[in-house]
Copies of this chain bind each other. A is one copy, B any other.
């Protein structure tokens, strides 16, 4: 029990009697008892809860469990212990995955802050009355997870939050045009009762989604805001090094007047896309009323491909704002119905899609900026001729960890009972952007380390200073 001076002063107002007693309760055990004693304070691989099943080539305990469709990212993530399957379409994200998701969220936050996005967080429990008002309680059918509370009040678990956010804005009374455009977003867990959950994190029933909702006082302004967000999405995917195409899309049950999808071309993609062979026209076939073979804009041939949808934007107009009465005072001091847009990003899906298209058949590759760790250091095998280079590796670890942007980004594969080769193979499969090895050349003077740049498939030999210089320029988040 601890009381700082200013807290004590505060408490003293109401707790005169108790204070001398509380003050006598000293906090006694501040030291770590057994975790830090005798163990390195460096992050070491042997202590990470990330049980891999690369050798066996099997997906732990799951391949026979269901007839679920599988794909490369799912297989690789299961083998590497990045995800652990629970109920169908529900996964536990293991420590490496949580690190990657946290980074992806920070990248998204940065892009959203750059366009004036403001982050909030709305409840998962969404009252049926809100959804009845928008008529989606009926429309959404069995995709909504529904439940009742102890008072028999009906709820759904929000797969998306147009109703909640529009009701929130409406409840504020009349906001001023001066605050516009208002770009509100959240990055939270979402729920959808998929008929056939499949492909791991690509189509699951629980997932993380970034959903943004924008409000404007005129159609014209709303279209500008729409483009603003779409451009931020493009920049985001670019910063992740993800190939993508922005296509015209169907508005589905969200509704509205205009919609685009951001699609990652992939053979396992569930969307069929038509991309013009000449101009920038591209569309989801769902958005077409009839079969089309030539581009409506330039008459050249359309080529069909498949894509994984990682983002979806909608210009909603007043579909929700008119129902919930979300109003703004415009610059003529007149109340107008807000013009809205909504913009989804599948956060966990982006992660899986990136692994799907960037990885090789048996090795994970991450977008560098969101890789769980930037570098893995592999010291020599115990008892080998190079063993004396182990200390160099530890020094290098400390050097890298002292670069501010690399703090916590390095992991030491301390399984020195294994050969370097075996550990390099594991590191390759886990996809650290930089794998740094203390081999024979580490004993030369000066020492050289082997550096494998996994995302460019380059191998270079660098001195300690060279490694530090290389990693000094890595972008982290």
List chain A positions with a Cβ less than 8 A from chain B: 1-4, 6-8, 10-11, 14-15, 17-18, 21-22, 24-36, 46-49, 51, 60-61, 84, 86-87, 90-95, 97-99, 101, 113-116, 118-127, 142, 145-147, 149-150, 153, 155, 157, 164, 168, 171-172, 175, 178-179, 181-184, 186, 188-189, 191, 193, 195, 205-206, 221, 224-225, 227-228, 230-231, 234-235, 237-238, 241-246, 265, 267, 275-280, 282, 303, 305, 357-358, 404, 408, 455-456
Contacts and interface: CB of A to CB of B under 8 A. Distances in A.
B49 A118 contact: yes
B189 A127 contact: no
Contacts of A178: 46
Nearest to A455: B6
A235 B14 CA distance: 25
Given A47-B179, A92-B121, 15 more contacts: A8-B243, A10-B357, A11-B243, A18-B303, A26-B280, A28-B280, A29-B234, A32-B228, A49-B120, A51-B175, A86-B122, A87-B155, A95-B120, A150-B195, A157-B157
Most buried by B among A60, A113, A124: A124
Given A6-B456, A175-B51, A277 B21 contact: yes
Nearest to A27: B234
Given A25-B275, A171-B60, A35 B189 contact: no
Contacts of A455: 6
Contacts of A121: 92-93, 97-98, 101
Contact of A30 (B10, B193, B235): B235
A150 B193 contact: yes
Given A115-B32, A123-B206, A206-B123, A282 B25 contact: yes
B26 A153 contact: no
The 6 A-B residue pairs with the shortest CB-CB distance in the complex, in nearest-first order: A90-B123, A147-B147, A93-B121, A142-B150, A2-B238, A33-B224
B275 A18 contact: yes
